[in-house]
Amino acid sequence: MKVAIIGVGLTKFGELWDSSFSQIFVEAGINALKDANIEGKDLEAIFVGNMSGGRFVDQEHVSGLIADHAGLNPLPSTRIEAACASGGLALRQGIMSILSGFHDVVVAGGVEKMTDVLTGQTTHTLATAADSEWETFLGTTFPGLYAMMARKHMEEFGTTREQMAMVAVKNHANARHNPYAQYPFEITVDDVLNSPMVADPLRLLDCSPITDGAACVILASEKRAKEFTDSPVYITGSGQASGTISLHSRKRLSVVDSTINASREAYKRAGLGPKDIQVAEVHDAFTIGEILGIEGLGFVEIGAGGKATEDGITQIGGKIPVNTSGGLKAKGHPVGATGVAQAVEITLQLRGEAKGRQTDADIGLTHNVGGSGGTAVVHTYEKG
């Protein structure tokens, strides 16, 4: 399989008080069209990742709204929802539409505006990605779920609080060089360990922020890509897997099976393995999430993620740089947009355009998780 990314676009991530939900998606889309050097008339379909427009901004029928406000009627526009993996799944649906032969050029994007409601409502909305009957109804929040996973990982493998804090420190250091990042400043391990407790052992600086933002990529068939660009980035593998939503149904709290299964599919389709990946964007909604992610993706053995982080293998210049964008932790996490923003970062890396945070990579990967692992989407990318 081979589908090309020919253009990418982002908005600034953060608290975008002066822009509406549809405006930020349109802004990202225009940036992607400019980057691809094409016009709206060249597009054939739109795929929009969005977790919860209805709860955050009282807006459903997101797909129609965006096509209308972007001036792209009568293009078919489809909303994709998979909690925090909505963006990654929108990208996958765009890929599948091209591989099926239905379309040749499409836009895959994601958008979320999360700051227009109070924090308590945001927390409750995000918790709907868990099992409402068995987890949310009983008062569980996502920090609480990931805290249990972190505690079990610490118990089984000796992972330390300091190792989890190092994930945040690394990703904030990377975000300093990302002009779109919400929190482009450095922090220390002590800053993380002394920040307010959220859900033991996770503290405030272990958690990704509440974010507004949008991201878009323009996808083209391999046949059409060279009409538009001399430097396409090819998506060569795509994998999606489901896992148990409730933690109590899992065989192990310290392993995310959906990540393992989605990555296996992506690697198989691309003809690659974990050792071939040279740069990756990994879902770090919480610091333990990146540790679980690099294990599930096969970059390190199960249980070795904390020590690997401490040893620096995930830093820029390390064996496998992870979250060069700053990750969800520092770049920000507008949940519907995150999976597409990851694809934007890997595209910039493979094109040699990630100024200040550039790696020497020809092959990359993105990893997007819905909820605590109910959905996982993995894509592999290769320089054209």
60 residue type, one letter: E
* Rounded-to-5 percentages of helix, strand, coil across the chain: 40, 20, 40
Active-site residues, by number, are 84, 333
Vertex 195: Cα angle to 173 and 259 (nearest 5) = 60
Query: What residues contact 212, with CB distance under 8 A and at least 6 apart?
Result: 13, 14, 15, 16, 19, 24, 112, 113, 114, 115, 334
Backbone angles phi, psi at 77, to 5 degrees: -130, 130
Q: How big is the chain by its Cα radius of gyration, in Å?
A: 19
Beta strands in the chain (DSSP E): 3-10, 46-49, 77-80, 105-113, 197-199, 202-203, 212-221, 233-242, 279-281, 363-370, 375-383
Q: What DSSP line would sit under 25-80, residue for residue?
A: HHHHHHHHHHHHT--GGG---EEEE-S-HHHHHS---HHHHHHHHTT-TTS-EEEE
Answer whether 375's CB lies under 8 Å from 82's CB.
yes
Token look-up 């947009």 returns 337
The encoded tokens of residue 55 equal: 């709860």
Q: What DSSP line would sit under 75-97, residue for residue?
A: S-EEEE-BTBTHHHHHHHHHHHH
The crossing angle, in degrees rounded to 10, of helices 142-157 and 287-296 is: 60
Question: Which of 78, 21, 94, 5 lies closest to 334, judged by CA?
Answer: 21
Backbone angles phi, psi at 176, to 5 degrees: -55, -25
Cα(24)–Cα(39) distance, integer angstroms: 18
